[in-house]
Amino acid sequence: MAIHVYCPQCHTSNKLELKKCSNCGVPFGRDKKYRVCVSVKGRRTTRMVDNLTLAKEIESTYKSDIIREEPSVPM
């Protein structure tokens, strides 16, 4: 399970604590996008969201749904 900051310039994922993209150097502003990646039992799911709170909620929902094998969050 992971939540990363998404760089719109070079389309890469970066660690949450970074202030700028590790690939292209573009600084992250207030309008950050987050990529939620969950991998359980060989199944991987990703989703883009606009805020960190929502990203954490989706991550926990994905994990529990994949464990129960009932995907309820639309992609």
pLDDT of residue 10: 95
Q: Where are the domains of the chain?
A: 2-68
CB 66 within 8 A of CB 41: yes
What single-letter DSSP state applies at residue 66? H
Other C-beta atoms closer than 10 Å to the C-beta of 62 total 23
- The whole-number pLDDT of residue 44 equals 80
Assigned token pair, 6: 């998404």
Q: Mean pLDDT per 10-residue run, the chain (75 residues)?
A: 91 93 92 87 84 91 73 57
